[in-house]
Amino acid sequence: EVPSILKPFEEHNVWLIFTKVDRKSPLRTKFRKLIINMLNVSSVPLKFNIITDLSSKEIAEQEISDIILNTNKLLPYSIYDFDLCAIKIKNIVDVMTPHFSSRPGSYYSSALFYLSLGLHRIAPENQEKAIMLDCDLYFKDDVALLFKEFYHFKPTALFGLAPELTTVYLHILQSFRKSNKNSTFGNYYHENDISGNSVHPKGFQGYNSGVLLLNLKKIRNSKEYNEILSKQSVDGMAEKYKFRGHLGDQDFFTLMGYEHPDLIQTIHCGFNRQLCTFWRDHGYQKVFKDYARCNHSTVVLHGNCNTKIPTN
């Protein structure tokens, strides 16, 4: 059942990661702009949950108090210490880094890219749902639209993600696809494949994790998800698809999309309209537009790979 308005007393929890920031770092500006933007366009009150390290914390709190002063809006937030969070997800990071980190040795910096996979251990027990966002985003429409997507989840879905809009997984699956000519994984998707289908009959581009919906309650209770996170399972999936990634959690979500599609709800591309064109200029010029195509109206623009976001 989809209510026409969200429950008025339900908390709308948004999670942001803000680490390794110094005074002049571009992430500082992205963080400020995103929060102001979200306060401006959201029809529901938001609660911010910010994961930050010791040196970035001061800058985060400075930005937040400036925003409160300048906008005169309520801005409830909680701060979570990155080091404590990293400890809580250590076993997950150890399993993931050999397959999905560009520099598998650097454990500390790696943990940051896997926090989403263990957010159910980090978030307070009473948070049943949450949305985790990159800082390089711009909302063109109401934040509540994203929260409303939870009501469209199939009963088995733990996570909601929008498609990756580049050829990165076509690239990563090159070797697998040579010996599996009929596989649709890595192909671009067709609009009418998305809705309601938990399998990917014609094409599946993988997922982008810059906008992530988490049904924390279901994740905490899912025995299956915990088994999928095990070393045996992740090594097995990486081996099967000859998969060597570098994009952290979203590589894992993409593999989950291949092997356990019932656990992920595909939300439409307008919820994470990525702007990075790196792959267009690196060997995939001809097909890039097929992957980047998005016919849905844009709710969120994602200036990934440091792409400037046009905000008019």
Q: Which residues bind Mn ion (CB under 5 A)?
A: 134, 136, 210, 304
34 or 95, CB closer to Mn ion? 34
Residue 27 binding ligand UDP, by CB under 6 A: yes
Q: Tell me which of 17, 46, 165, 255 binds ligand UDP, using CB under 6 A.
A: 17
| Interaction residues for ligand UDP, span 87-116 (CB under 6 A) | 112
User: How is residue 278 annotated by DSSP?
Assistant: G
Helix (H, G, I), strand (E, B) or coil at 307: coil
The distance of closest approach from Cβ of residue 48 to ligand UDP in the complex, given in angstroms and rounded to an integer, is: 12
What are phi and psi for residue 49, nearest 5 degrees?
A: -120, 115
The span of 7-15, 130-138, 187-195, 278-286 binding ligand UDP (CB under 6 A) equals 130-138
Angle at CA of residue 152, ends 149 and 158, nearest 5°: 80
Residue 251 binding ligand UDP, by CB under 6 A: no
The span of 11-19, 141-149, 172-180, 196-204 binding ligand UDP (CB under 6 A) equals 11-19
108 or 151, CB closer to ligand UDP? 108
Tokens of 290: 């097929």
Q: Tell me which of 18, 138, 253, 288 binds ligand UDP, using CB under 6 A.
A: 18
Cross-strand partners of 80: 51
CA 176 – CA 246 distance, rounded (Å): 17
CA 32 – CA 28 distance, rounded (Å): 6
The span of 70-78, 133-141, 186-194, 238-246 binding ligand UDP (CB under 6 A) equals 133-141
33 or 296, CB closer to ligand UDP? 33
Yes or no: say if 238 and 95 are a contact pair by the CB < 8 Å rule.
no
The span of 14-22, 93-101, 155-163, 170-178 binding ligand UDP (CB under 6 A) equals 14-22
Residue 305 binding ligand UDP, by CB under 6 A: yes
> Which ranges of the chain does DSSP label H, i.e. alpha helix?
26-41, 54-71, 82-88, 90-100, 107-111, 119-122, 144-148, 168-172, 174-178, 191-194, 216-221, 223-228, 231-240, 249-259, 285-292
- The 10 Å Cβ neighbour count of residue 46 is 21
CA 290 – CA 188 distance, rounded (Å): 6
Q: Tell me which of 46, 111, 135, 263 binds ligand UDP, using CB under 6 A.
A: 135
Yes or no: say if 302 and 137 are a contact pair by the CB < 8 Å rule.
yes
Tokens of 116: 């989403």
DSSP element (H, E) containing 52: strand 47-52
Yes or no: say if 118 and 17 are a contact pair by the CB < 8 Å rule.
no
The distance of closest approach from Cβ of residue 17 to ligand UDP in the complex, given in angstroms and rounded to an integer, is: 4
87 binds, among ligand UDP, Mn ion, none (CB under 5 to 8 A by kind): none
Q: Tell me which of 6, 11, 20, 145 binds ligand UDP, using CB under 6 A.
A: 20
- The 10 Å Cβ neighbour count of residue 94 is 14
The distance of closest approach from Cβ of residue 245 to Mn ion in the complex, given in angstroms and rounded to an integer, is: 16
6 or 27, CB closer to ligand UDP? 27
Q: Using CB under 6 A, list all residues that contact ligand UDP.
A: 16-20, 27, 112, 134-136, 210, 304-305
